[in-house]
Amino acid sequence: MKFFIDTAIVDEIRAAHRLGVVAGVTTNPSLMAKAGQDPKKVIQEIASFVDGPISAEVLAEDADGMVREGREWAKVAPQVTVKVPLTAEGLAATRVLADEGVKVNVTLIFNASQALLAARAGAAFVSPFIGRLDDIGANGSELVRTIATIFKEHHITTEIIAASIRRPLDITEAALAGAHIATVPYKVLLASLEHPLTKAGIARFAEDWRQVTQKTK
């Protein structure tokens, strides 16, 4: 499973990219609002150092509008993947953009039928929101597992992006369920690095080394 970083804050993306594990970036209008900068300039800056897919979301609600916006996003950088919501209009736009060679990430997936429809419309990626499902008492990782099973059964190459990741355990569950990618907020990525036994082990090794070097002086 690959890691994408889920943020539009360029400093966070640079810091995550420095770790050597980030294969792409996802953004959305809410994340862009938090960044507080011109969205196109943000995508251009991200594309200057991230080689993998960078999702930029359309705001139109009709297919023609989504296609127009998607074409404009595709011009910003070759890595851009156009993010489209799972609606009837979104599916129609996905087909047009995909036929033009534009990669599409269909977002706001909450059941397996939606994911299958998006894949058949030509989506390069589908994004089931596991955290939001967990919030209402559903099982987000089970949805990922179901989608992965369907895609494998029918030889579908669309990649599954586990989205709405809230905690490190969500990453593990997404990987076990068969997600190709987990898109992770920066703070969750950092939290995934932490374990008290790791810190204790580092401290113990440092102390043992200090004692050894003192004895050999």
Active site residues: 83
To which H or E segment does residue 134 belong?
A: helix 130-135
Give how far Cα 204 sits from Cα of 193, 209, 216, Å: 18, 9, 19
